[in-house]
Amino acid sequence: MLYAFKFKTMSKIVVLKTEGKGKEGVDFVTVMLFDKTEDADKYCKENTKEGKYWSFAEIISVGDRLEPWYMENL
């Protein structure tokens, strides 16, 4: 017997955060979900830093295929 369930979904804001050491590539990837664009923007600003140990956070769309790179996602 099959049952169909209807779920109410709320649209989430997706943030991709990449981190690394040096400019050779990305060492870590983190995906964060937010309910509010303001919270996602704040997280991106607080978690984007250049330097030897760098991190880059940006809002992305669901289903985007990205190549993580130093301080950007292509």
DSSP label at residue 51: S
Burial class (CB in 10 A: 0-12, 13-18, 19+), 34: middle
What's the average model confidence in pLDDT over 22-26?
Answer: 90
Q: Which residue ranges make up each domain of the chain?
A: 13-73
Write down the pTM of the prediction.
0.81
Backbone angles phi, psi at 22, to 5 degrees: 75, -175
pLDDT tens by residue, 28-38: 999 999 999 99
Q: Which two tokens stand for residue 26?
A: 């990305």
Extended strands (E) in the chain? 13-21, 28-34, 53-60, 68-69, 72-73
What's the average model confidence in pLDDT over 14-35?
Answer: 94
